[in-house]
Amino acid sequence: MIIKNAVVFNSDFQFEKRDIQIKNGVFAESSEPDSEVIDGSGLYAIPGLTDVHFHGCTGYDFCDGTEEALQAIADYQLKNGITNIVPATMTFDEKRLTDIMNTAKAHKNKLGADLCGINMEGPFISTAKKGAQNPHYIHNPDIDMFRRLQNASGGLIKLVDIAPEEEGSMEFIEALKDEVTISIAHTTADYETAGLAFSKGVKQVTHLYNAMPPFTHRAPGVIGAAFDHKNVYVELICDGIHIHPSVVRATFQLFGDDRVVLISDSMMAAGLADGNYSLGGQGVEVTGSLATLSDGTIAGSVTNLMKCMRIAVQKMGVPLESAVKAAAVNPAKSVGIFDRYGSIEPGKKGNVLLLDRELNLITVIQKGKTV
């Protein structure tokens, strides 16, 4: 396959007009004659996106723990330009989590997005900042439990969340920092505690600003500590609900576009109409773009990563190059799959999205095949 005349997001994170060739499912070095030619004139060509934090869509949740749910989720994501997925678990007991891991390990993708990992969002979090997580199953970080679940998943867990102020957290970080990316989440940690966690090996912050102390001039908390540790990625939900546009712009300025990871944090209502749904075993009411528990707590989003990227550019003033980097490049780097995904470079999976000038998704190409 050759894509001709597109404006391509290159490895320097800039756009340039050039051709793209895909052979045997991967990007190739040079343009040679090919029987399949796609005219990309007037279109942007960007890498397939990677969502490292979402829970479900189209009436299904990753925590359903079934192949039907996982395939439906993968199909929806691919059709919306998310070619690589790292779905997130909720806070459940170990048996339920083990069943979810077993299902993921056995998954044989048909036509959907590639399952590149699992984001284990609970249960090693703070009850005080539980958000939409089920408090009945929250407990202290447990190294042995994590390794049992990792074994059940076949090594698929790429992210695990902790609240570093909880007992056993620092030991957890020291033991596992070389085995999995550890992210701070659902936490009451202050600046000093978060800073210690980062210095011991934590590399990410889950949905920055949400479910953590605010960033203030005398108590900068997790957010300030993340800023001071330059190797830390920060997740950002740009659905227009979770974070004010001004804060999104400030975050890109504060952290730089090489450290921001756009996520959708979507729940099962994504792609469906308003109504009553569930997340982590708790009821969720969806009205427009807002999903809430019965007490008013925001319960994930009802969007997808492509829409978040578009909102960031069109409604929040984020430069297109920065938004693409935060939705395609940085997520792949944060979970250790950038050697195969996340950029249009020779040898990587031939995943390309063609967008018009209004950032509408025109064509999805996965491993050299048009979806």
Give the residues across from 118 on adjacent strands.
157
Count of beta carbons in the 10 Å neighbourhood of residue 15: 17
| Residue 187, domain extent | 49-339
CATH number at residue 192: 3.20.20.140
Give the pair of three-digit tokens for residue 13. 């994170």
Query: Residue 171 belongs to what H/E stretch?
Result: helix 169-176
Instruction: Report cis status (omega within 30 of 0) of the bond before 123.
Output: yes
Q: Is the pLDDT of residue 200 over 80?
A: yes
pLDDT at 297: 86
pLDDT at 98: 98
Tell me if 273 sits within 8 A of 63, measured CB to CB: no
Instruction: Report cis status (omega within 30 of 0) of the bond before 47.
Output: no
Annotated catalytic residue within 265, 274, 295, 356? 265
Same domain, 258 and 354: no
**How many domains is the chain built from?**
2
Residues 125-147, mean pLDDT to the nearest whole number: 94
CATH number at residue 19: 2.30.40.10
Same domain, 43 and 187: no
C-alpha dist (Å) from residue 257 to 16, 190, 194, 253, 363 = 19, 25, 22, 8, 26
C-alpha 47/C-alpha 323 separation (Å) is 12
Same domain, 150 and 13: no
3-class DSSP assignment, residue 265: coil
Range with the lowest mean pLDDT among 86-90, 298-302, 334-338?
A: 298-302
Q: Is the pLDDT of residue 81 over 90?
A: yes
pLDDT at 221: 98
C-alpha 92/C-alpha 65 separation (Å) is 12
Same domain, 264 and 368: no
Q: Is the pLDDT of residue 348 over 80?
A: yes
Same domain, 117 and 183: yes
pLDDT at 290: 87
Q: Is the pLDDT of residue 14 over 90?
A: yes
Same domain, 27 and 53: no
Q: Give residue-wise pLDDT tens across range 202-219.
A: 999 999 999 999 999 999
pLDDT at 317: 98
Same domain, 7 and 71: no
Same domain, 37 and 60: no
Which of 208, 207, 206, 124 lies closest to 164 in space, CA to CA?
A: 124
Q: Is the pLDDT of residue 253 over 90?
A: yes
Same domain, 223 and 350: no
Give the residues across from 222 on adjacent strands.
none
Count of H-run helices and E-run strands, the chain = 10, 23
Q: Give residue-wise pLDDT tens across range 156-174.
A: 999 999 999 999 999 999 9
Tell me what percent of the chain is helix, strand and coil, each rounded to the nearest 5: 30, 25, 45
Active site residue 265: yes
Q: Give residue-wise pLDDT tens across range 37-63.
A: 999 999 999 999 999 999 999 999 999
Which of 16, 132, 82 lies closest to 371 in space, CA to CA?
A: 82
Q: Give residue-wise pLDDT tens across range 265-318.
A: 999 889 989 999 988 778 889 898 888 888 888 877 899 999 999 999 999 999
